[in-house]
Chain A
């Protein structure tokens, strides 16, 4: 139980980075997967799970007054649940990750809804800022601004605690009692999750009408890999993409 509380505290602190403090991207699933992976003793699987979740919600960010579901919380909870199922209970990685992700998506949705509520609460801080400023000067303003972090931390701490406490128990029970076909199906989804993620990225680039470049890269890289499946081809393609960015930037 102590471990769940500490992981919840850490998760809630890191989640502040998503929209409230810094926005250094340490709360992004790719990074948080490595952090929780290190704490739970399985960095490679932590990063892999984080990377897959990162891809699915690669384009989601809170812009202006738009507050989307908080998928950094979904990412953190999924990584912890998956690694617990794999390392402590010996379940397979793929089905465990898909089950954990299915259970964690509502955590991100709830966090987003509660984020809207806390931003409404912050209106009170704004209303009291002038009186705090006239009473305590600049210190009063600092208090009014930083007080907004309290509800945000509490919100995510409780969500982590709720999902990790009963969540681990439920995930273990479910994983142990699922029929073989369901486990097989969940394992299959693990391998096709990248397809969902790639379609999300396709949606981003389709707006700029550069998809023909994607088609060209798809066929040329595919052909080269069929002839010789060396990963150097991927490094070279990335370098070519980098050169294309430079050329695009120089073009008037």
Chain B
């Protein structure tokens, strides 16, 4: 046991959390986030391995292939910092365990980030923000800016909590966090958020035409029916693999034709 090696400080862990925001800066098609990971773990290498020869070895092992979700990478960074610290204290300059755990964790944590953050949380919170803008009388300044503030505020709590807290959690729990993560069910979170979006979507589809005064043959109900019909039709288009951009251009073409035909 090498007692001259000090424990990593909170300052070092904070530096990792800050640097983890740049994990995708050097993203490349060869080893993906390897540059970003090595950059983020640098404060640990600097603190634990002052000798240049050993520092070089550490740099080299952290330049290997790495790819995960940019948010959940912070947990891996925390765990790797702990394992590097333990290896340095044991006088082991290979730290094979750190690399093994790093490789083992990146896949499952990528799935967690993609399913929970990208696929569900971001769209769900954006839907809340947009609903506030669409239905909050958009000529009223404070109601309008509440939409983006609400989206950004709620999302920031969710992702910064994981990204900053994840480094400290990973460091304090070490490999033990793997067991805890196994109990965590991202599919369940995704399903609950999906349920939320379903209710919100049903609400906005009927509220948008009613609150914006859509009338077909002077009927408000027919306005809602038209909106439902349009949503269904465009959904079928998306299901056929037509992108939203092409559907937009198609709508423009049809609307201009309708205007020329005197239908609007």
Contacts and interface: CB of A to CB of B under 8 A. Distances in A.
Do these two chains really belong together in a complex? yes
A205 B202 CA distance: 11
A225 B207 CA distance: 7
B123 A21 contact: no
Interface stretch (B59-67, B84-92, B93-101, B172-180): B59-67
B122 A200 contact: no
Contacts of B56: 133-134, 137
Interface residues on B, range: 35 or more
Contacts of A210: 191, 194-195, 197-198
A123 B30 contact: yes
Interface string A202-229: 1111111011011111111110011001
Contact of B151 (A25, A59, A69): A25
19 contacts: A23-B21, A44-B140, A47-B144, A123-B28, A123-B29, A147-B26, A188-B258, A191-B212, A192-B230, A196-B244, A203-B238, A208-B194, A214-B199, A218-B206, A222-B206, A222-B224, A244-B195, A245-B193, A248-B192
A186 interface: yes
Interface in A24-40: 24-26, 28, 30-31, 33-34
B238 A51 contact: no
B234 A216 contact: no
A182 interface: yes
Contacts of A134: 56, 59
A167 interface: no
Contacts of B133: 30, 47-48, 51
Nearest to A120: B29
Contact of B195 (A101, A191, A196, A248): A248
Nearest to A217: B202
Mostly, the B contact residues are helix
A252 B21 CA distance: 35
Given A20-B24, A198-B231, A226-B221, 7 more contacts: A23-B159, A54-B126, A55-B127, A129-B38, A146-B26, A194-B208, A237-B200
Contacts of A242: 196
Contact of B152 (A26, A186, A197, A203): A26
B255 interface: yes
B169 interface: no
B217 interface: no
Contact of A43 (B59, B63, B144, B193): B144
A73 to B, nearest CB: 13
Which 4 A-B residue pairs are closest in the complex by CB-CB distance?
Answer: A217-B202, A222-B206, A185-B256, A122-B28
Interface string B121-158: 01100111111011110111100110110011001100
Given A25-B152, A181-B259, A196-B234, A119 B220 contact: no
A205 to B, nearest CB: 5
A133 B195 contact: no
Nearest to B128: A238
A92 to B, nearest CB: 14
A145 interface: yes
A166 interface: no
Interface in A119-178: 119-120, 122-123, 125-127, 129-130, 133-134, 137-138, 141-142, 144-149
B25 interface: yes
B132 to A, nearest CB: 9
B255 A19 contact: no
B171 interface: no
B148 A30 contact: yes
A54 B130 contact: yes
Interface in B222-259: 224, 227-228, 230-235, 237-239, 244-245, 247-249, 251-252, 255-259
A204 B234 contact: no
A189 interface: yes
B110 interface: yes
Contacts of B188: 248-249
A41 interface: no
